[in-house]
Structure 1
């Protein structure tokens, strides 16, 4: 094994040259209170990110992917991305792989909840945090994680916030993003888009893959995740703050998107 001084020198070297200069086949970066660079960047390595606590938004190809607590995102090689988050604390692990198996899975973006066995594997792998050299167990274990990902993936498409290309829909999305607490009047939205209600509904679905009502629901649930993260409100308060008339209605809506019931952080 390399001594600490040599390892530190290698760390400083790759930080200057970028992650593609890391010598190991796979590299782990596990850190509390994560402060990721917010500028757009890309690298040749494939990236697996596990959010242990908090949440992050990944901005990729005019789409925004929410990665909440206990979820992972897979990002293919050479794909430009940036992150944002208003979470109080973001604890996460990144694993960067030089190569992947020749399967379609690894060529696409995936966001999914980490099953218990994957979380245990990731936590075990944390012992190789920022290790720049390969050794047998390190190589074999991380390869096992990589090859298991397609079997762990139970993707939730609603964690992706669609961004329409048609610029006429930009003011519509902006309006909903600000006024998500209220039921948006379709006539008002059609006026903002300078088109008929029928055309708006048709084009919005074509551009985003979901209806205006579903988009509003998605934005509400994403806002609820941010509010839950603060630890300042009860679920009943959050339900009211994001526009639901009852806790049961909010819980049902949350579960349909997140595939789990909401829980206030302790």
Structure 2
């Protein structure tokens, strides 16, 4: 059983729960790294740690205090290297007709939404009919489009053009260093101009943005270990100063980086 759903065959889940919506809290969550699908819409709130969701050739980062909305029937795989992942999953049998609910959404949980999600955890795994729970979860569901003022843009599209694969691999391996656009073009066997145009068409972002996103994603993983100061993290992902790193992090995450104190490390 996973989040209340019974796995009858690998990746295929049967929903035997009659309730319209229910809550499943998971402390120290462990992933299985294979794609699965179910016929309930899913809202996941990451209370601690971070997760990567692999959906439709895209990789979505869901850091601490963020939520991801996944429409019904959307196949997804989840991975994470976080030391600890604590999360709450909300599964809805039916949703409203708004466009919002038809697409994957990732956004920061505003303080009001965060408190609502934490309050709802008191119904963890409860299958008993409860009027307050039904109304409360429906209110969360109805309010999601208003809470999602703008997505964080924390997704990276995996290009289908095989010429771009070595380009992505090079950036992923050498993110600490400045990009050598001529070298990347040579790897793709394209001109620089053609590489930039093709990459943007395939992924929706520029090479420079991909490089920045890769650095910030790596920094989130390092921050999660609680072994480094922010200055150390900045250096490890290729920034020459803490202020440059903080500015880049804020541009992507819409918040400043914070290292939680652990084993003598502080921000």
User: Separation in 1 of the partners of 2:78 and 2:43?
Assistant: 14
2:228 maps to 1:228: no
Q: After TM superposition, give the deviation of residue 155 of structure 1 in Å.
A: 2.8
3-state DSSP of counterpart to 1:161: strand
Q: After TM superposition, give the deviation of residue 23 of structure 1 in Å.
A: 2.0
Q: After TM superposition, give the deviation of residue 14 of structure 1 in Å.
A: 4.7
Gaps of 5+ in 2: 262-267
Write 1 or 2 for the structure with the bigger share of helix: 1
3-state DSSP of counterpart to 1:205: helix
The match for 1:260 is 255
Cα distance change of structure 1 residues 41 and 185 upon mapping to structure 2, 3 Å threshold: same
Q: After TM superposition, give the deviation of residue 205 of structure 1 in Å.
A: 1.1
3-state DSSP of counterpart to 1:21: coil
Structural mapping, 1:64-143, within 5 Å: 64-143=59-138
Contact 1:38-1:84 at 8 Å conserved across structures? yes
Q: After TM superposition, give the deviation of residue 37 of structure 1 in Å.
A: 3.0
Q: After TM superposition, give the deviation of residue 16 of structure 1 in Å.
A: 4.7
The match for 2:6 is 15
3-state DSSP of counterpart to 1:158: coil
Structural mapping, 1:32-47, within 5 Å: 32-47=27-42
3-state DSSP of counterpart to 2:6: helix
RMSD of aligned Cα (Å):
1.7
Contact 1:110-1:155 at 8 Å conserved across structures? no
User: Separation in 2 of the partners of 1:106 and 1:48?
Assistant: 10
Contact 1:156-1:258 at 8 Å conserved across structures? no
3-state DSSP of counterpart to 2:222: helix
User: Separation in 1 of the partners of 2:139 and 2:32?
Assistant: 29
Q: TM-score, normalised by structure 1?
A: 0.93
Q: After TM superposition, give the deviation of residue 160 of structure 1 in Å.
A: 0.6
Cα distance change of structure 1 residues 32 and 220 upon mapping to structure 2, 3 Å threshold: same
The match for 1:48 is 43
Contact 1:244-1:250 at 8 Å conserved across structures? yes
3-state DSSP of counterpart to 1:265: coil
Contact 1:25-1:134 at 8 Å conserved across structures? no
Q: After TM superposition, give the deviation of residue 150 of structure 1 in Å.
A: 0.5
Equivalenced residues, count:
257
Q: After TM superposition, give the deviation of residue 133 of structure 1 in Å.
A: 3.2
The match for 2:265 is none
3-state DSSP of counterpart to 2:62: strand
Cα distance change of structure 1 residues 11 and 240 upon mapping to structure 2, 3 Å threshold: closer
